[in-house]
Amino acid sequence: MPTALYPGTFDPITFGHIDIAVRAANIFSRVIAVIADNTTKNPLFSVNERLEMARDALAHVPTIEVIAYRGLIANCLEERKATAIIRGLRALSDFEYEFQMAFTNRNINEDAETVFLMPSAKYTYLNSTMVKQIAKFGGDVSGFVPEHVAQRLVGKYRQQNGL
């Protein structure tokens, strides 16, 4: 039963992330969405908040599990006995970084294969940073994230602004 890891910060999870996870679940018998606990980034949401939002967003796909992980994804691959790392490519600009990461992961773990998936065309431009900026300035993000995530974004920015 081939298992794939789908790592990311997911700060927050978007319809683009969900699209890639579902596409991966159609290829692999099991997909583990890995919420990166990366201390070098400054996420808006805590690991537990991101974990909860991702679990809610992906609950409709029984073959997708959501976990948090701190460490190298190549090590997580080995620990979870997965066979591939899923990465979404939105545009050509993503490719160089993702290509470097794929080779780095393979240098750390020679069994680390990376599978690149393209999102639906309507999600090609979508990323979490853009969603957070729209939400921060009071824009409607309902077309980019599930309703429960949109509510969490509104709440988080209200809290930050003391409202």
Average pLDDT over residues 90-114: 88
pLDDT number for residue 124: 85
Per-residue pLDDT at 42 exceeds 90: no
Q: Are 108 and 77 in contact (CB under 8 A)?
A: no
pLDDT number for residue 33: 98
- Under the banding of pLDDT at 50, 70 and 90, the label for residue 92 is confident
pLDDT number for residue 4: 98
Contacts of 157 (CB under 8 A, 6+ apart): 135, 136
Extract the tokens encoding 47.
Answer: 């690991």
Q: Would you say the pTM of this structure is higher than 0.85?
A: yes
* Radius of gyration in angstroms for the set of CA atoms belonging to the chain, rounded to a whole number: 16
Q: Is the dihedral of CA 137, 35, 19, 119 positive or negative?
A: positive
- Under the banding of pLDDT at 50, 70 and 90, the label for residue 162 is low
pLDDT number for residue 38: 77
| Structural domains of the chain, ranges and CATH numbers in brackets | 3-124 (3.40.50.620)
pLDDT number for residue 140: 94
pLDDT tens digits, 103-131: 999 999 998 999 999 999 888 888 999 99
**Which positions are annotated as active-site residues?**
17, 41, 90, 128
Smallest CA-to-CA distance from 101 within 31, 67, 89, 44 is with 89
